[in-house]
Amino acid sequence: MASKARHPFRRRVRPGVDAMPEVEISEADGIRSLHLGSETIQSSMNLEDPTDLVLSYSRAMMGFLLFNDAPAHILQIGLGGGSLARYIDFYLRDAQSVAVDINPQVINVARAFFALPEEGERFEVVEADGAEYVRIFRDSTDVILVDGFDGLQIVDALTTEDFFVDCRRALTADGIFVTNWWSGDKRYMTFLERLLGVFEGRVLELPSASHGNVAVMAFNSQPKLTRWAALEKRVDALEARFGLEFGEFVERMRQMNPLSERCLNP
């Protein structure tokens, strides 16, 4: 049950704050962005419409709505500037969500400068190591969204087989795991092979519209909708409801996952 997923977990297991990348903010043309120790943009917010998902990778991560448009509980590992948190709070009013980040500076900056939702019963921010925190869940979260970069690359602890196993245990029977990876990372295929093994081949890749990011979705059990035609029938209603380009999502998935129907329909 979603209510059991909340937990007073506050332990940090990584080195101190000094070992973490410095958080910086930039602003241009009405877009405020968060950076972690480099010029690379980790998260962006439209100052006139904070719920808008500015970056294409964050839009792609919400592609899971094609398969479950009414999750009761969502766990976010990696808060960043809170793009997903703001979107979920606005569009998924019946969902309870927890956002976990190991870097207290990220949390403080997000609260002060990135219009995070009010924290309470529906939304909570937890300072913790996400790879550790997910272990407290058992069959209790519908969606896990992982976006963990340290300023230079994907956080190693969020790509291990053990982490994927812990995430699968945390999911409800029909739960979905979603992670943001960069296709140019030389370790990408290694990560993908691990995920395929843990989730028994039930994996779909949804490339974002730009910058080489890929939203990789893994399913705890066979999705109810696995045919492209069935997904296409949902596109118009979902686009009207959520304001995202679901038609493009389906087409991009079809191009990148030509054998997916066979894999998801054994």
Task: Give dist(CA 38, CA 208) in Å, integer.
Answer: 22
Task: Tell me the catalytic residues.
Answer: 147
Q: Say if strands 41-46 and 96-101 run parallel, antiparallel, or are unpaired.
A: unpaired
Q: What's the burial of 265, exposed, middle or buried (CB within 10 Å: 0-12/13-18/19+)?
A: exposed
Instruction: Compute the distance between CA of residue 123 and CA of residue 97 in angstroms, rounded to an integer.
Output: 5
Q: Can you list the alpha helix ranges (DSSP code H) found in the chain?
A: 56-61, 83-91, 104-113, 130-133, 161-170, 188-198, 228-242, 246-256, 260-264
